[in-house]
Structure 1
Amino acid sequence: MNSLTAQRLLAINHEFYNRFGDQFSATRQRLQPGVKKILDSIQEDVSVLDLGCGNGHFLHEISKRGHKQPLLGVDFSLPLLRDAESAPGVIFREVDLSQLSAVSDQLSVPGGWDVITMFATLHHIPSVEMRLDILRTVRKILKPDGKFILSNWQFLNSAKLKSRIQPWDRVGVNENDLDQDDYLLDWRSGGEGLRYAHHFSAQELLGLAGQAEMRVTASFPSDGDGGNLGLYQVWESV
């Protein structure tokens, strides 16, 4: 994918989450089942960095359990971060993940993070190059024995969500400039919006992990009525 197309896709999502951030946050007042499963595995003596933290509910729940180590959440959407600011015991920062490598030194902790999470976020990052830049940065700021835990939206598993796929000419993007499995989906709460998402297969994620010098150590589906709208994985450094 050329850089101009990648930047256009980022702009589509920036516009969406800045315009509809409040409405989106209102639909994310409870943790997804898969995130709850991950939450239960987080010990009180580990540091956690949440990339694409949204309204901060995941870190908020960790802090309520009497957590002892640093908790940091980052996101680019100011409407979502305004909600996140109410969470006690957690630091939130405005960070554009497409620029993560440039600000990684500002997000690091001595010895590296014990756990880095990235729930329902990587699928909004366009191009293999940009994803790998983020994933290699994750490896850089993660402890050598730390865990990277991510989930990705499996929207093609839902007939309802598939019906929301829109033609790319609505945003002036040429399909030939896109990568395979790139989609434009609409939003219908509080107005109509559009956002970009990539549909990852387990095999594609395995390939990205390898290129980032990491390995997939666990994987499970969760979320939605069928329990398969999210693909969760745990990665560790090679």
Structure 2
Amino acid sequence: MEDTTKLNTSKLGTKEYWDDFYSLEKQNFEENPEDTGECWFADNDAEEKMVEFLLDNLGEYNIKEDSSMIDLGTGNGHLLFTLLEEGFKGEMIGVDYSEKSVEFAAEILKTKYSQNDNVTFATADIFNEQWAPGKFDVVLDKGTLDAIALSGIKFENNETVVDVYPKVIEKILGENSILLITSCNFTEEELIKIIETETLKKWKSVNYPIFEFGGVKGTTICSVAFLKSSAK
């Protein structure tokens, strides 16, 4: 049976593409401070649904108003800024391998949220074994696995970024903590296949509108929460 978690390579998986993309977005912002850039999956209200999910599950496991959070592939930082505006007040870190992305997000932070020191941004290669940002209560991924899966990068033993991804999550996720991931390239079943380990299991998923085509029902996007707990 064909492995549907293996995707073809694309320029969307390259650092050069995102450096160019965020250089332009930063330039647009400097010309018009109201233009904070594109919000990924806006057509599906994915960002709102991710924030709503965290609000609805406050008090569950390590989801709290002061939870420490890291946003993988933060882009323009929009998700973290929205969480900030919704009252989350813990340490929030946005990381991205595109320096231009981090520069852009940091400029938005300085311009629009200058009195806040809860949010920081940093350039990082999350697949570098030396990368050790610590443990977090909530790890966020809005389309980042989608993009990096298109890179074609291979590691030792011919492992892809998709193969290595759950190891990265386990390294930075604290006990009883949550990964909340949104994808348009992978179905919920594929995400479960990719991410689940002995200690990382599906907890809950977010509901999106269902469409039906040719007698097959599905959605164009999915958001799934995984819980890290001790191996049994």
TM-score grouping bracket, smaller chain normalisation: 0.5 to 0.7
TM-score (normalizing by structure 1): 0.64
Secondary structure in 2 matching 1:98: coil
Residue in structure 1 matched with residue 51 of structure 2 by the alignment:
39
Alpha-carbon contact 2:12-2:147 (below 8 Å) kept: no
**1:201 to 2:187 alignment:** yes
Structure in which a larger fraction of residues adopt strand: 1
**1:115 to 2:133 alignment:** no
- What amino acid is the match of 1:233? V
Secondary structure in 2 matching 1:63: helix
Residue in structure 1 matched with residue 228 of structure 2 by the alignment:
237
Task: Give me the whole-angstrom Cα distance separating, in 1, the residues matched to 2:10 and 2:160.
Answer: 14
Percent of aligned pairs with the same residue?
21
Secondary structure in 1 matching 2:223: strand
Task: Give me the whole-angstrom Cα distance separating, in 2, the residues matched to 1:204 and 1:72.
Answer: 27
Residue in structure 2 matched with residue 81 of structure 1 by the alignment:
102
Task: Give me the whole-angstrom Cα distance separating, in 2, the residues matched to 1:63 and 1:20.
Answer: 25
Alpha-carbon contact 1:221-1:229 (below 8 Å) kept: no
Alpha-carbon contact 1:116-1:149 (below 8 Å) kept: yes
Task: Give me the whole-angstrom Cα distance separating, in 1, the residues matched to 2:12 and 2:188.
Answer: 27
Q: Which whole-Å deviations, capped at 9, do the CAs of 1:45-74 have from their partners, x for residues lacking one?
A: 211111011100111122234433210000
Task: Give me the whole-angstrom Cα distance separating, in 2, the residues matched to 1:11 and 1:50.
Answer: 19
Q: Would you say how many aligned residue pairs link Structure 1 and Structure 2?
A: 180
TM-score (normalizing by structure 2): 0.65
Residue in structure 1 matched with residue 126 of structure 2 by the alignment:
97
Question: In the superposition, relative to structure 1, how do residues 55 and 95 fare at CA in structure 2: closer, same or farther (>3 Å)?
Answer: same
Residue in structure 2 matched with residue 18 of structure 1 by the alignment:
19
Q: Which whole-Å deviations, capped at 9, do the CAs of 1:100-134 have from their partners, x for residues lacking one?
A: x430x2x11xxx31100011010122366422323
Alpha-carbon contact 1:144-1:237 (below 8 Å) kept: yes
Secondary structure in 1 matching 2:170: helix
Residue in structure 2 matched with residue 217 of structure 1 by the alignment:
203
Structure in which a larger fraction of residues adopt helix: 1
Alpha-carbon contact 1:50-1:116 (below 8 Å) kept: yes
Q: Please list every run of 5 or more consecutive structure 2 residues that lacks an aligned counterpart in the other structure.
A: 1-6, 26-35, 56-63, 153-158, 213-217
Task: Give me the whole-angstrom Cα distance separating, in 2, the residues matched to 1:70 and 1:212.
Answer: 28
